[in-house]
Structure 1
Amino acid sequence: MAPVSLGVAFDDPVLEKSVRAGLETIEAALRTAVSADDEFVAGAARHLVDAGGKRFRPMVSVLAAHFGDPTRPEVVSSAVVCELTHLATLYHDDVMDEAPVRRGAASANSRWDNTVAILTGDFLFSRASNLLADLGPYAVRLQAQTFERLVVGQIRETVGPQSGTDAIEHYLAVLADKTGSLIATAAEFGAHYAGAAPEIIAGLRSFGEQIGVAFQLSDDILDIASGTDESGKTPGTDLREGIATLPVLYALRSGEAGTARLRELVSHPLTDDAEHAEALELLRTSAAMAEARETLRDYADAAHQHLADMPDVPARDALNALTEIVIARTG
């Protein structure tokens, strides 16, 4: 197994060594969790694990655990539960989105078919449940509550905002459910199973929710701002499919002179290559993009604020640095 890439600079070498060891243990446990006697099932379950990924949720879990005793074995098991849940949702998301690529590789539904992708996601959920059984009622209940939010968020995204509901408020609430909830749970699991005090657990959970939304917003911005494949999918994919992320929602709401052409373009799926390129160029220099960056900064600032009340330990500095990396990746 290749060395784990931390993706964040540590000022404390002792913390860095401990975090690296924790993530390597989680990675090994994750690969064990997706193994199966059936060769086809094992290959399908490993598909996204082998494709890599940022392992953002395990990182949050491990750092949260450093507000207590990070060596407790439940820290690893609960982090694997969160990552398995995340991976399972990706299999299902790709089916709903008809996505051909995930993490730079063919998506499971593209490589096999929708049925295999859905069932593989279900298989990963079952493996997460098996680990939860050993962790006990606290973990089972928290996972159930988190899973409910994941599903509700997906339903709300699919149905769209109801009449009289602000589209931007609706979108941010969907992100809180679909992304923020699981990262919040990753933080809570890490702190809880490390034996941190209740007020620290609550603060880290709130931090996780805020940085979770910020993380997804940074992906939204990166999908437009990047000229490369940094987001793990083809840039402008959401635009091409007519998915209105935050920059597009701000553009649609804008009444400024000179934005009529942009609003016209982003009001429908952009299957025409020339229109797609034009919309990307207009969005990149638009006030809507600047407003989306400001919203990202607001969520990051809220995450920092929750950390301000935490004990002054090296892990707090690392979580603050991780928050700034979420912003910096958008350029």
Structure 2
Amino acid sequence: MTSTAAIPLADHALSERLTARLSLVEEALRDAVAHADALADDASRHLVNAGGKRLRPMLALLVAELGDGARREVIDAAVVVELTHLATLYHDDVMDSAPLRRGAPSAHEVWGNSVAILTGDLLFARASTTVAGLGPEAVRIQARTFERLCLGQLHETVGPQPGDDAVEHYLQVLADKTASLIATSARLGAMFAGCPPRTVDVVTAFGERIGVAFQLADDVIDLTSDGSLTGKTTGTDLREHVPTMPTLLLRARCAGPDATPADHALLARLDGDLSSDADLADVVAELRAHVVVEQTRARAVDLARTAVAELAPLPDGPVKDALVSFADALVDRAT
């Protein structure tokens, strides 16, 4: 069953239209991942069948309401961005050794790393086939987005270079790895609905800002929830020593004069062996209560407010209201 819950919609007529169109996207997604080869078919359907928020296609469908949202090209654009997102999840879970995704075993846990990586590649190929039908400009946008996704993962993997500010480096990773595709979702939705260039630019800028805020909120939720909101195992990033904003802020704090012995002790535990579930749970609980989590939440709130400010040129109405509500809900989920 499809739902518009990823973006709150107060307008009943708008909600009904988008629910119907999201059903079309869901149907097209299932067609797009189908393969004659049984293994490729099973592995490709794995995350589609697990569900998810469908945030990116919903954003594309919503901003398309600023133009002609009924165009078939809008549905295809929504399919492209979700296929691309799903492909990155297969790769991310291998690199992060994540055991769960959307509440189900990750693909690499079921079929192994090689099959999971190749399945991600297959989904990228299907996304490319779909976007080719939208014309050369859409292909260029998809290629630039793909480049940013890869650069974001690369820079996350190698980390900041000597002399780089680790926090700024991380924010750029989030902009490339997360916000780029959210911005592209908005851009393609508005473009193929026939919106004027100014409107396309406005919703793209909103997507860039809200994408970083979204990931910062996830950094908070990964520590403060039991995993039911994210569908992932709490503390996986800590166990794999993947940087997040709270850990980077703690590291920066420990490098300064105001750090306490407790700060240094917590950082030492974070840098140590967290293979034990009990040790991981203790560190998660300690970090959850630390000021750096509230500081991360505050950064997410500030970015969400900046994203809303980008919407000022849009006409007042249910679409703008829904985008503002989305920003508000994003902040609320991290509180």
Q: TM-score range by the shorter chain?
A: over 0.9
Distance in 2 between residues matched to 1:68 and 1:55, nearest whole Å: 21
Alignment deviations for residues 109-152 of structure 1 (CA, whole Å, 9 cap, x no partner):
11011121111111111111111111000100000100010011
| Cα drift, residue 175 of structure 1 | 0.4
Q: How does 1:4-15 map to 2 (within 5 A)?
A: 4-15=3-14
Kindly provide the amino acid, as one letter, of the partner of residue 195 in structure 1. G
| Cα drift, residue 192 of structure 1 | 0.4
| Cα drift, residue 189 of structure 1 | 0.3
RMSD: 1.4
Kindly provide the amino acid, as one letter, of the partner of residue 264 in structure 2. A
Tell me if structure 1 keeps the 8 A contact 2:6–2:54: no
Tell me if structure 2 keeps the 8 A contact 1:67–1:313: no
| Cα drift, residue 263 of structure 1 | 2.1
Q: How does 1:311-326 map to 2 (within 5 A)?
A: 311-326=315-330
Please say if 1:290 is aligned against 2:294.
yes
Per mean C-alpha deviation after superposition, the further-off stretch among 292-301 and 302-311 is 302-311
| Cα drift, residue 269 of structure 1 | 4.7
Distance in 2 between residues matched to 1:96 and 1:166, nearest whole Å: 24
| Cα drift, residue 212 of structure 1 | 0.9
Question: Which residue of structure 1 aligns with residue 162 of structure 2?
Answer: 163
Distance in 2 between residues matched to 1:262 and 1:236, nearest whole Å: 14
Tell me if structure 2 keeps the 8 A contact 1:229–1:235: no
Distance in 2 between residues matched to 1:311 and 1:34, nearest whole Å: 37
Question: Which residue of structure 2 aligns with residue 183 of structure 1?
Answer: 182
| Cα drift, residue 228 of structure 1 | 4.1
| Cα drift, residue 172 of structure 1 | 0.6
Question: Which residue of structure 1 aligns with residue 220 of structure 2?
Answer: 221
Question: Which residue of structure 1 aligns with residue 67 of structure 2?
Answer: 68
Question: Which residue of structure 2 aligns with residue 173 of structure 1?
Answer: 172
Tell me if structure 1 keeps the 8 A contact 2:88–2:120: yes
SS of 1:161's equivalent? Answer: coil
| Cα drift, residue 265 of structure 1 | 1.8
Kindly provide the amino acid, as one letter, of the partner of residue 256 in structure 1. A
SS of 2:311's equivalent? Answer: helix
Tell me if structure 1 keeps the 8 A contact 2:7–2:55: no
Kindly, what percent of the aligned residue pairs are identical? 49
Kindly provide the amino acid, as one letter, of the partner of residue 83 in structure 1. E
Kindly provide the amino acid, as one letter, of the partner of residue 208 in structure 1. G
Distance in 1 between residues matched to 2:277 and 2:112, nearest whole Å: 27
| Cα drift, residue 9 of structure 1 | 3.5
Question: Which residue of structure 1 aligns with residue 91 of structure 2?
Answer: 92
Distance in 2 between residues matched to 1:3 and 1:119, nearest whole Å: 28
| Cα drift, residue 5 of structure 1 | 4.7
Tell me if structure 1 keeps the 8 A contact 2:4–2:15: no
Structure 1 stretches of at least 4 aligned residues deviating more than 6 Å after TM superposition = none
Kindly provide the amino acid, as one letter, of the partner of residue 325 in structure 2. A
- After superposition, the Cα gap between the structure-2 partners of 1:325 and 1:37, relative to the gap in structure 1 and judged at 3 Å, is same
- After superposition, the Cα gap between the structure-2 partners of 1:325 and 1:269, relative to the gap in structure 1 and judged at 3 Å, is farther
Please say if 1:138 is aligned against 2:137.
yes
| Cα drift, residue 267 of structure 1 | 2.8
Please say if 1:24 is aligned against 2:23.
yes
Please say if 1:113 is aligned against 2:112.
yes
Distance in 2 between residues matched to 1:290 and 1:227, nearest whole Å: 18
Please say if 1:263 is aligned against 2:267.
yes
SS of 1:310's equivalent? Answer: coil
Per mean C-alpha deviation after superposition, the further-off stretch among 74-83 and 32-41 is 32-41
Please say if 1:207 is aligned against 2:209.
no
Question: Which residue of structure 1 aligns with residue 279 of structure 2?
Answer: 275
Distance in 2 between residues matched to 1:269 and 1:20, nearest whole Å: 46
5+ residue gaps, structure 1, are none
| Cα drift, residue 96 of structure 1 | 1.6
Question: Which residue of structure 2 aligns with residue 81 of structure 1?
Answer: 80
Per mean C-alpha deviation after superposition, the further-off stretch among 157-166 and 317-326 is 317-326
Alignment deviations for residues 35-80 of structure 1 (CA, whole Å, 9 cap, x no partner):
1222221111100000111101011101110111100111010111
Question: Which residue of structure 2 aligns with residue 101 of structure 1?
Answer: 100
SS of 1:221's equivalent? Answer: helix
SS of 2:123's equivalent? Answer: helix
5+ residue gaps, structure 2, are none
Distance in 1 between residues matched to 2:40 and 2:244, nearest whole Å: 34
Please say if 1:57 is aligned against 2:33.
no
Tell me if structure 1 keeps the 8 A contact 2:7–2:58: no
Distance in 2 between residues matched to 1:277 and 1:97, nearest whole Å: 18
Tell me if structure 2 keeps the 8 A contact 1:242–1:268: no
State the TM-score, normalizing by the size of structure 1: 0.96
Distance in 2 between residues matched to 1:174 and 1:80, nearest whole Å: 24
Kindly provide the amino acid, as one letter, of the partner of residue 324 in structure 1. D
User: 322, 327, 331: which is aligned to 2:331?
Assistant: 327
Tell me if structure 2 keeps the 8 A contact 1:242–1:269: no
Tell me if structure 1 keeps the 8 A contact 2:217–2:330: yes
